[in-house]
Every structure is written in C-alpha cells, then in structure tokens.
C-alpha cells in the first residue's frame, strides 16, 4: 500500500438545497417567502420552495455543518410565523397536492423582473408539477495543491506552467471530470435515490387516498423527472466547444436560456451561471445536480454522503481523458434514468445490473485509494485486501458502466486495508467511513429507497409531516 498524499483530498465545496415549505396540516404553504433579504436562504421556482445556499468551505465536514446551521436558522423562524408554524418537507417528492398551481412562480420586480419572466416561461413549457421536485446540488473546486498532487500520480493530464497554459490545463481537467462524472451519473442516482413514494395527487391534484407511485427510487432523476424534451449532446473537447454546444440550443430557439438545459452536471465560473463569463474566465467549479434529499437526515443529507461525493470527484479527476462521443453521452444519460428505477436488477447499457455495476464501481474506488490515489488501470483491477460487507456479492467480470473494466480474476472481497500506524490515519479514516457508508447501502434492504418505501408507502403524507415536525424540533433545540 502506498502512502496517501493528503493533498489529493484538498478541495473546496458548497451545497445548495431546495425544500418545500408546508403548513401545520402538511399542505404546501401559501405564505410569502420568509427570508426576502437573506442570500443564504433564497427561493427557487416558487415562493414556497426555499433554497439553502452555503458558503464555499474547505472540507466536506465544514460544508455539511454550514448547511445544518442554515437549517437551524430557518427552522426557528418558520416555527414562529404569525400565520402559524411551518416546516420543511423532508422528501424530494412533494406532499399532497390539492390543486395544480399551488406553487406559483415567484414574483420579482425592478431589475430582477427577468426572473419572473423566466419562471413564467418554465411554467408554460413544463407545467408547475415538475417544479415541485426538490433536490441537492453539490459544488466542488480543486485548489492548486490538489492539481499538483493528482498530476503526479494520475492520468488526467493536469499540468503546470505559465498562466495561460495553466488555465487551459485546468479547463481541460474540469472538462475531463465533467465527462467522467456524466458517465458515472447512474452511480450517484443509485446510491442517493431516496424518493420511492410519490403521492398520486402529483399526477391528479386533489385526489386523496390513491395508490402511490412505487416504480421509481428517484422520480426526479428518472424518465418522468425534470428533463428537457430532447437529449442534449455537448462538446467536451475544449471549453470553447463546450460553451458553444450549450449556446446553440438558445440560438436556435430550443431553449430560452442556458439555465434551462437540465443536465446532471454543469461546469461553472465563479458567481452566477453565465456561459460567456465561463468562456472568458475559465472553469471555477463543477456542480452535481442529481442528489435526492434523504428524509432521515434533518438537513436532507448525511455527512458521510458529502464525503463520498468528494471522494468520487477525486477518483474521477484521476481518470485518463478519453473521447466522449454522442453515442456514449446518450447512453450515459439513459443509464442515469434507468438507475432511478426501484428495481436494481435492471440492466444498464453494458449488460450488468445496476447493483452489479455499483459493486464494481465501489471496488474500483477502494483500489484507487489503496494505491495511494495512484492511476486507475483501464484494462483490469488488482486484488484488494479486506472483506466485503456481509451480503455483498463479488463484482461480476466485465466492463463497468463508467468505462473502466474488471478482468476475469475479479477478487471475491473488497475493502481498504488498515493503514500503517501513523500514516495519514485521519485521511484513511475519512475514506474508510465514507466508503463503508455506501457499502452498507448495498446490503440486503440497505438502500435508502428500500428503507423509505417500507416505512412510508402507507400514510406517506401523515408520516412525512410527523417527520418534518420532529426535524424542526431537533434543529430548534440545537445550539
């Protein structure tokens, strides 16, 4: 085992989280946005959908704590509203919908009036029901010390040099990361899917006591989710090409704005999403947009899950560049939507089931970090020390859906061996805990979607409101 260079864990992160406000009956709140002057507690499509926006933080633990602080701040205000207490609905799927249009577009005035026009366009084109989904966005940027560390051990082509060369190299590295993240979007959807119960009133507003939709583990990331009515194809060969490939959809009238391109991954410059600024200033960070809210966390996401997203980005940033042609892009997007199904025996485009692919992908991550973050072999994997969690089958030989491969001698166990005493033990504990948290999801009945469906398939709205109130009480009691 190689010694881990702690600089490969250097990163800056931010979280954004949408949450619907509900009243004491569990209905969508019809009151005004309670934080009109607070940039940290913004509003999304409608006035009853809060958006939490953390500062940029230097670690996964710090950004998780920042999101929790914002939830405490919001819960204390919502509990004491003059019109009656309100709560944050804990699911990505909405509660009971009494009538279509209970989430009208937020009204803006003056120099922000364009926001209202854009929301009205979304309402007219997609309807308001799709806007009822909520989710979490994970933003990450890598500092210079990470790029130096990964260039020394990986194949991602992150070079150093003069300012212009460094800028081009950085942009190329983020383009490569975006391509690999899109290839692995199915894995994020599968591991983070936590919305297996969709009330029938979503499809038929006002209908009570209907049979809930149980087909999907994550409807918002599935074929019935918030996507465009066409399959976009992007150019990952250069930043110029990437920007132009998005702008072509606005120039030909397909989209009103680049923000209307609903894609699992975005490359962004600092500040508001602006493609011309991205072209001019280069890539600042990557944004992942396909994370469900886990109702068992008071803030919608567990600390270990934020850590895992960080580690996944480190792993994918090390992958060697390879072309990402149209056919592969379309397969990646279709696999992502298949991974949102509840039945994880469904096969992805490589012929293996969703679950088999997930086992194999986690094993590859284990091996990468065991090698000290060394390069990931494209033609096979090496045996790993340790034991798989009970009930986890060994990976099946064959190509993983992300583009790597496992040879016919796939080991029958997985896991990172314990590090030598004193050798970056804190970093190893961080990695071990984050990966173990994902492995436990693959134990029988261990996926969040499986646990949630079992508990909430009956009396989803009543139990969801009870959970929202319990979360509020706990947050209000915290220091």
3-state SS of 283-340?
Answer: CCEEEEEEECCCCCCCCCCCHHHHHHHHHHHHHHHCCCCCCCCHHHHHHHHHHHHHCC
pLDDT over 80 at 415, yes or no: no
- Is 154 within 8 Å of 321 (Cβ atoms)? no
**Distance between CA 58 and CA 206 in Å, rounded?**
45
Q: CA quadruple 289, 292, 297, 298: dihedral positive or negative?
A: positive
442 vs 102: CA distance, rounded Å: 38
Is residue 317 within 8 A of residue 155, CB to CB? The reply is no
162 band by pLDDT with thresholds 50, 70 and 90: low
Task: Work out the pLDDT band at 393, boundaries 50, 70, 90.
Answer: very low
Q: Which of 87-101, 207-221, 257-271, 428-442 shows the lowest per-residue confidence on average (mean pLDDT)?
A: 207-221
Residue 419 has pLDDT above 80, yes or no: no
- The band of 167, judged by pLDDT with boundaries at 50, 70 and 90, is confident
- Listing DSSP states for 331-392 in one string gives HHHHHHHHTTBS-TT-B-TTSSBHHHHHHHHHHHHHHHHHTTS-PPPSS-----SS-PPTTP
Residues 6+ apart with CB under 8 A from 152: 5
Q: Give the phi and the psi of residue 262 in degrees, each rounded to 5.
A: -95, 105
- Look at residue 25 in the predicted model and tell me its pLDDT: 96
- Summarize the confidence of residues 263-269 as an average pLDDT: 97
The closest alpha carbon to 411, from 359, 467, 346, belongs to 359
Report the chain's mean pLDDT, rounded to a whole number.
88
Q: Which residues contact 153 (CB under 8 A, 6 or more apart)?
A: 5, 8, 318, 372, 373, 374, 375
CA dist 331 to 74, 192, 231, 248, 349, Å? 40, 20, 10, 22, 7
Q: Using a pLDDT cut of 70, give the percent of the chain over it.
A: 86
Instruction: State how far the alpha carbon of 205 is from the alpha carbons of 43, 146, 270, 431, 460, in Å.
Output: 23, 50, 40, 45, 16
Q: What angle do CA 15, 52, 55 make, to 5 degrees?
A: 50
Q: Could you give phi then psi for residue 84, rounded to 5 degrees? A: 120, 155
Q: What are phi and psi of 252, to 5 degrees?
A: -95, 5
Which residues contact residue 426 at a Cβ distance below 8 angstroms, ignoring those fewer than 6 apart?
none
Lowest-confidence segment of 30-39, 204-213, 402-411 by average pLDDT: 402-411
Three-class SS of residue 120? Answer: helix
φ/ψ (deg, to 5) at 191: -75, -25
Rounded distance between C-alpha atoms, residue 479 and residue 477, angstroms: 7
pLDDT at 300: 98
Cα distances (Å, whole numbers) of residue 406 to 112, 356, 363, 377, 440: 52, 12, 10, 9, 22
Q: What is the DSSP string of 173-239?
A: HHHHHHHHHHHTHHHHHHHH-----B-GGGTSTT--S-PPB-SBS-GGGSTTSS--SS------S-H
Residue 398: is its pLDDT beyond 50? no
Evaluate whether 239 touches 268 at the Cβ level (below 8 Å).
Answer: no
Helix (H, G, I), strand (E, B) or coil at 70: helix
Cβ neighbours, 10 Å, residue 107: 15
In this prediction the pTM is 0.90
Token digits of residue 253: 């009238």
According to DSSP, residue 16 is labeled E
The neighbouring-strand residues paired with 18 are 51
* Average pLDDT rounded to a whole number, residues 146-170: 71
Tell which residue, 390, 383, 370, has the closest CA to residue 412: 383
With vertex at residue 308, the alpha carbon angle to CA 304 and CA 311, rounded to the nearest 5 degrees, is 140
Tell me if 140 sits within 8 A of 266, measured CB to CB: no
* Average of per-residue pLDDT across 29-58: 94
Q: CB-side exposure of 446: number of CA atoms within 13 Å? A: 15
Question: How many whole angstroms separate alpha carbon 161 and alpha carbon 58?
Answer: 25
196-210, 303-317, 375-389: which has the minimum mean pLDDT? 375-389
């Amino acid at each position: 085992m190689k010694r881990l260079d702690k600089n490969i864990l250097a990163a800056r992160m931010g979280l954004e989280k949408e949450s619907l406000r509900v009243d004491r009956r569990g209905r969508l709140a019809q009151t005004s946005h309670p934080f009109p002057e607070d940039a940290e507690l913004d509003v999304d499509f409608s006035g009853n959908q809060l958006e939490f926006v953390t500062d940029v933080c230097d670690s996964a633990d710090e950004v998780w704590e920042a999101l929790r602080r914002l939830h405490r701040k919001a819960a204390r205000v919502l509990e004491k509203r003059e019109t009656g207490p309100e709560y944050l609905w804990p699911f990505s799927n909405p509660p009971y919908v009494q009538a279509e249009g209970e989430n009208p577009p937020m009204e803006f005035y003056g120099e922000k009036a364009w926001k209202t026009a854009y929301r009205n366009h979304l309402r007219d084109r997609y309807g308001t029901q799709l806007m009822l989904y909520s989710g979490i966005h994970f933003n990450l940027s890598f500092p210079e010390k990470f790029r130096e560390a990964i260039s020394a051990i990986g194949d991602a082509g992150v070079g150093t040099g003069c300012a212009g060369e460094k800028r081009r190299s950085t942009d190329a590295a983020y383009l490569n990361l975006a391509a690999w993240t899109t290839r692995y979007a199915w894995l994020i959807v599968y591991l983070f899917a936590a919305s297996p119960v969709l009330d029938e009133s979503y499809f038929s507003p006002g209908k009570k006591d209907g049979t809930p939709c149980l087909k999907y583990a994550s409807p918002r990331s599935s074929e019935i989710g918030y996507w465009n009515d066409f399959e976009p194809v992007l150019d990952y060969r250069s930043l110029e090409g990437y920007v132009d490939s998005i702008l072509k959809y606005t120039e030909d009238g397909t989209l009103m704005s680049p923000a209307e391109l609903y894609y699992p991954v975005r490359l962004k410059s600092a500040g508001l999403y602006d493609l011309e600024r991205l072209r001019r200033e280069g890539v600042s960070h990557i944004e992942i947009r396909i994370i469900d809210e886990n109702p068992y966390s008071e803030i919608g996401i567990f600390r270990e899950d934020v850590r895992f997203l960080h580690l996944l980005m480190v792993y994918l940033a090390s992958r060697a560049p390879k072309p990402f042609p149209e056919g592969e892009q379309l397969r990646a997007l279709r696999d992502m939507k298949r991974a949102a199904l509840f039945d994880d025996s469904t096969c992805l485009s490589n012929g293996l089931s969703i679950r088999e692919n997930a086992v194999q992908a986690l094993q590859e991550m284990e091996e990468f970090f065991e090698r000290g973050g060394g390069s990931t072999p494209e033609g096979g994997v090496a045996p790993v020390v340790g034991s798989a969690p009970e009930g986890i089958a060994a990976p099946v030989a064959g190509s993983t859906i992300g583009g790597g491969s496992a040879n016919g001698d796939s080991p029958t166990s997985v896991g990172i061996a314990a590090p030598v005493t004193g050798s970056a033990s804190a970093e190893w504990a961080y990695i071990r805990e984050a990966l173990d948290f994902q492995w436990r999801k693959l134990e029988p009945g261990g996926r969040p979607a499986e646990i949630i469906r079992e508990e909430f398939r009956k009396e989803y709205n009543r139990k969801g409101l009870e959970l929202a109130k319990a979360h509020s009480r706990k947050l209000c009691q915290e220091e």
